[in-house]
Copies of this chain bind each other. A is one copy, B any other.
């Protein structure tokens, strides 16, 4: 290392006491005389002593660390949730080890193995896949874990998510209420349950209002915004006769916006656009995306709270919290006259 770090034994030597006594002075034990405590505190200050958390963790059998596995910190939704999680963790004296899974189940599994090996007290994970749990189960059975942003149903784990079905229904209903009768759903609908539920909510709402669900789906995972834009272009060139697009995600909606721009299609004048997640950039002027909001701070706070409770009381049974989404109305959706429908 740089400089030899000063240990508790160094302080003890300087103070002329055993290191047990130093430990007690610092931990605020009562088994110590008042004036020796002060003297030791003084000396340890002067020597710049700081306890070795690694050694402490080894004996205490807890690291005061939680692992966070997310797919991509770059996503505004994710980074905002991460912000709140770090805040909560810090408040409770926990540190955060950050792992990007890159939406790969292999890396996700590697991250979980790493974290358990590092003896983290708990793990918060935004699963990469609908089979994440099965893959991860052998590794997380030994560590308190809470999943976020996915409804884990009856799986033996805690989770916190929003009601994606309801969110999608609300969005569809809103578009219907504005007079839209041909609404295209833009985004993946298979794989993760959250995706399926959103698609289902849209689909069921459509049927409820007498509309035909129309999906622009794709089988492969999409990562770059360029890919999203290309897909949106395909939609504009192939699909006929729709007045609104309900995007899976604000990021997807942004891709639609981009493609629309390229086609000279105006939002909301020519077409209405609805997003999901309410990332901060959706509030930007000229973007002004109407969207379904996820309560990110609440997700983070309840996830951390649930995790800490499980850490404290390992025998607590698993809980699933499903928070409510809400509609944030901005300027990307427009009321249309029923008789005339624009043909793209």
Whether A100 and B86, one on each chain, are in contact in the complex, defined by CB atoms closer than 8 angstroms, is yes
Q: Is A48 an interface residue (CB 8 A)?
A: yes
Q: How far is the CB of A127 from chain B (nearest CB, A)?
A: 18
Whether the pair A58, B61 counts as a contact (CB closer than 8 A) is no
Central interface residue in A51, A79, A87, A138, by most chain B CB within 10 Å? A79
With contact pairs A73-B86, A142-B2, A142-B3 given, residues A285 and B314 touching in the complex (Cβ less than 8 Å): no
Contact B280 A261 (CB under 8 A): no
Taken together as a complex, chains A and B put the C-alpha atoms of A105 and B57 apart, in Å, by: 27
* CB of A318 within 8 Å of the partner chain: no
Given A2-B141, A73-B79: A55 and B53 interface contact (C-beta under 8 Å): no
Say yes or no for A207: interface residue by CB 8 A criterion. Answer: no
Most buried by B among A2, A54, A95: A54
Q: Is the CB of B286 within 8 A of A261?
A: yes
User: Closest CB-CB distance, A54 to chain B, in whole Å?
Assistant: 5
Known: A3-B142, A225-B280. A52 touches B285 (CB 8 A): no
> Is A32 an interface position by the 8 A CB rule?
no
**Is A116 located at the chain interface by the 8 A CB criterion?**
yes
Which of A18-59 touch B at CB < 8 Å? Answer: 48, 50-55, 57-58
The digit string for A113-149, where 1 denotes a CB below 8 A from any CB of B, is 1101111000000000000000000100111100000
In the assembly, how many copies of this chain are there?
2
Q: How far is the CB of A43 from chain B (nearest CB, A)?
A: 16
Report yes or no: A61 in contact with B1, Cβ–Cβ below 8 A. Answer: yes
Chain B residue nearest to A225 in the complex (CB): B280
Q: How far is the CB of A29 from chain B (nearest CB, A)?
A: 19
- Size of chain A's interface in residues, with CB distance under 8 A? 60
Chain B neighbourhood of A50, CB < 8 A: 113, 116-117
Structural contact, B95 and A97, CB atoms closer than 8 A: yes
Report chain B residues within 8 Å CB of A68: 98
Does A92 count as interface, using CB distance less than 8 angstroms? no
A284 CB within 8 Å of chain B = yes
Which residues of A are in contact with B by a Cβ distance under 8 Å? 1-3, 5, 48, 50-55, 57-58, 61, 63, 65, 68, 72-74, 76, 79-80, 82-83, 86-87, 90, 95-100, 113-114, 116-119, 138, 141-144, 225, 254, 257-258, 260-262, 280-281, 283-287, 314
Other A-B pairs beyond A5-B142, A257-B286, 15, CB < 8 Å: A50-B113, A50-B117, A51-B117, A52-B119, A54-B58, A54-B63, A72-B83, A73-B86, A74-B79, A74-B80, A86-B98, A87-B100, A95-B114, A96-B99, A261-B286
